[in-house]
Structure 1
């Protein structure tokens, strides 16, 4: 599968050919503590994660170093389960976690999210996902992941504006 970088006005998705990784860069008009909280507070996370057609339900959530998480994403076509472990949670700076879709339990990815304070109440989010294979990465990209990321971050923008 041939992939390319996508640069929306507010989202950069890098998908290098032949690589097992992808990277996301996105700026938010909110401080790092607010963006961090939206990623670690389960009540906030379910409100923004994924495409507009999805409703999320938390099954387990312990956003601490060594903790774990699990949630269901539901739409008109069914339910999709996801789970993982938090390997490092550094407040307002970094989250390292595994990510597994229950439909493909052998395809575990490692996600490294960092938050950078841009000043003036703005934060840059950089996220790198490392997949177990190029095929797994390409399958995730082909599944419509881009739409889920873009729509999810648009919801996160609205949520962050409401919190101000």
Structure 2
């Protein structure tokens, strides 16, 4: 079985979708908790340069969320709705408030690989190819990679 020790980011050539895959030394329950516990989520999401504060967080099917990431006095707001929250999968929307017309439908899967390892797969369906390509040009891979590296350290330190 292939091991994705670094995040693999791919695009679908026929649909405005961004796919990410990464393996973690963690159980599915740990990764699920890291994505649904607001205090944990705020500690690992995004690049090192940004500090995140949770403004609203109701991680349940039908719930909603909002957080703000800040750097040097500049704030970036994000919000969305949890459409489905269950131990093996989360389906949610995501809107970057700097582009309020762009709504992304994101699905996360927590795949148990055995031996205390889990594969996290995400699929982000963006509203257009232009929107997808703007996300890719934004440097999102830096935020994804640095955020997952922080999450890996938290898992290794027993914080999750």
TM-score (norm 2): 0.94
Shift of the alpha carbon at 1:80?
Answer: 0.3
* CA drift at 1:162: 1.4
1:113 — aligned with what? 108
Q: Contact 1:50–1:151 (CA<8 Å) still a contact in 2?
A: yes
Task: Give the alignment partner of residue 141 of structure 1, picking from 132, 136, 144.
Answer: 136
Counterpart among 128, 132, 155 of residue 160 in structure 1? 155
Shift of 1:17: 3.6
**Residue 71 of structure 2: aligned partner:** 75
Distance (whole Å) between structure 1 residues aligned to residue 107 and residue 28 of structure 2: 16
Secondary structure, counterpart of 1:132 in structure 2: coil
Q: Which moved more, 1:139-148 or 1:73-82?
A: 73-82
Q: Compared with structure 1, are the counterparts of its residues 14 and 110 closer, same or farther at alpha carbon in structure 2 (3 Å cutoff)?
A: same
Name the stretch that deviates more: 141-150 or 17-26: 17-26
Secondary structure (helix, strand or coil) at the match of 2:144 reads helix
Q: Distance in 1 between matches of 2:157 and 2:83?
A: 30
Please report how far the alpha carbon of residue 16 of structure 1 lies from its aligned counterpart in structure 2 after TM superposition.
Answer: 3.1
Q: Distance in 2 between matches of 1:65 and 1:18?
A: 30
Q: Give the whole-Å Cα distance in 2 for the aligned partners of 1:79 and 1:42.
A: 18
Contact 2:5/2:23, CA 8 A, preserved across alignment: no
Give the 4+ runs in structure 1 shifted more than 2 A.
16-19
Counterpart selection for 2:40 from 23, 44, 55 = 44
* 8 A Cα contact 2:12 2:18, kept in partner: yes
SS in 2 for 1:160: helix
For residue 69 of structure 1, report the CA deviation from its aligned partner.
0.3
**How far apart, in 2, do the equivalents of 1:12 and 1:116 lie?**
16
In the alignment, is the contact (CA less than 8 A) between 1:18 and 1:134 conserved in 2?
no
Q: CA deviation at 1:11?
A: 1.3
Q: Aligned to 2:98, which of 98, 103, 108? A: 103
Any stretches of 5+ residues in structure 1 without a counterpart?
1-7
